Amino acid sequence: MSSAVAEMGANTSELLRLLHAERALRELAESDARRATQLLLQPRRSPWKPKRKVAVCIGSGHTDRPLVSAIVQTFGDGSNARQLTTRLHATLPAAQLEVIINDDSGRDHGRWLALLRQPNDFVVSSPNIHEIRAYNRLARLARGDFLLLLQGDHCLPSKADWLRQGLAIFRRLPHLGLLGGQMGFNQVPTRRIAENVSWGAAPCHPIPLLLPPRAGGGGAEGGEAGGEELGEVPFMFVAGVNIGPLLVRRAAYLRAGGFDEAFSCAGEPGIQLDTELSLQMWRRGYHVGLWYSGVSNGVGGRKTRKNPAQKRVRLRNDEVNGRRCKRLLRDHDAAAVAAANAQLRDARDATAARAQASQDRGALDANQCEVGLVE
């Protein structure tokens, strides 16, 4: 009897030792992850200074810390390269904008390189890793304070101020971590119901709220993007936003861990990747918002919807990942979204406000995307 008790005590002690060891390893791993994130956010620079004055560096014009890193995930979209690069370069001065193209097909890099001639332009050639892994990899390569996530079939607005307006919204709302420019929702937007439960660009419901001008009547927003004037803007806080485009604080993206790579195998569409990231933002204290960017999609057709094999994978991932996101949504603090929206104003005519925003942005349909481009 006593030997059995002694053996039980020894087993308990060993179990406790293993539990303490596991906890210590977990804490060490979390500490290493935090340290790695800090290194990604702020590259190491020696504090050493020369004793005598030396000539200022005369480099290539490359900027170590641009304001925005635009990451474009593309597969066989070389025919849309001129439109995307021309309009992207017009959004911000070259020193404030970094453009990183992921040529996931591995066959269009020559077309992109011919157009990307600014000192902060990069092309990465990948073996069909698809969007989740491409965005995560390139977000770690990027140096901007903000990430602008685009896709190769996007049609950017003809007027260049849409990105500056998005940045001005971030400056107005310091807790905003993620801003969608096309579609937002408060429930998981699975394929059959997405447009019925969402706000944003047509055919979704129009955004019913407005971000009012700054208190005191001053509409100018300071900051690196040049004091952009921000009047009343159709805007609302939502549980989640749809990719295309997404504007996100890079620090928030990295601290949230980026997109969940368990949502698809390499080479497969990562359906609901944006929903999951949005919910992770709220869990970490960041807000998620929606505004009209004027960006549309579908230039050259929707490839994964034409390919039968990719369509089957898309439908499967929509169902499986939709269930994952519904479980996350159960723990989501809907009251936080409602409280954030309480600071906004109701739009008297939301449909008219959407039409005006589209006109102000110079939004274009995908089949008219080349309109206004100068050769």
Give the mean model confidence (pLDDT) for residues 19-30: 75
Are 318 and 191 in contact, with CB atoms under 8 Å apart?
yes
> What does the angle CA 6 – CA 12 – CA 13 come to, to the nearest 5 degrees?
90
Q: Which of 147, 125, 132, 141 is nearest to 75 (CA)?
A: 125
> What does the angle CA 244 – CA 292 – CA 318 come to, to the nearest 5 degrees?
35
pLDDT range class, residue 309, cuts 50, 70, 90: confident
Residue 6 has pLDDT above 70, yes or no: no
17 assigned to some structural domain: no
95 assigned to some structural domain: yes
24 assigned to some structural domain: no
Are 321 and 271 in contact, with CB atoms under 8 Å apart?
yes
Residue 95 domain boundaries: 68-368
32 assigned to some structural domain: no
Residue 152 has pLDDT above 60, yes or no: yes
Give the mean model confidence (pLDDT) for residues 214-238: 68
Q: What is the pLDDT of residues 153-162, one digit of tens each?
A: 999 999 999 9
User: What is the Cα–Cα distance from 294 to 296, expressed in whole angstroms?
Assistant: 6
Bridge partners of residue 118, in order along the sequence:
none
3 assigned to some structural domain: no
Give the mean model confidence (pLDDT) for residues 225-249: 86
Instruction: Provide the terminal-to-terminal Cα distance of the chain, rounded to the nearest Å.
Output: 92
Q: What is the pLDDT of residues 62-91, one digit of tens each?
A: 888 999 999 999 999 999 999 999 999 999
49 assigned to some structural domain: no
- Residue 323's H or E segment, with its range, is helix 308-330
Give the distance from CA 31 to its chain's centroid: 25
The mean pLDDT of the chain is 87
Q: What is the pLDDT of residues 322-362, one digit of tens each?
A: 999 999 999 999 999 999 999 999 999 999 999 999 999 99
Q: Count of domains in the chain?
A: 1
52 assigned to some structural domain: no
Pairing label, strands 233-237, 209-211: antiparallel
CATH number of the domain that residue 76 is part of = 3.90.550.10
Q: What is the pLDDT of residues 176-220, one digit of tens each?
A: 999 999 999 999 998 888 999 999 999 999 999 999 987 655 545
Which amino acid type is present at position 222? G
Pairing label, strands 176-180, 146-151: unpaired
Least confident of 13-27, 190-204, 278-292: 13-27
133 assigned to some structural domain: yes
Q: Largest Cα–Cα distance of the chain, in whole Å? A: 92
Bridge partners of residue 150, in order along the sequence:
72
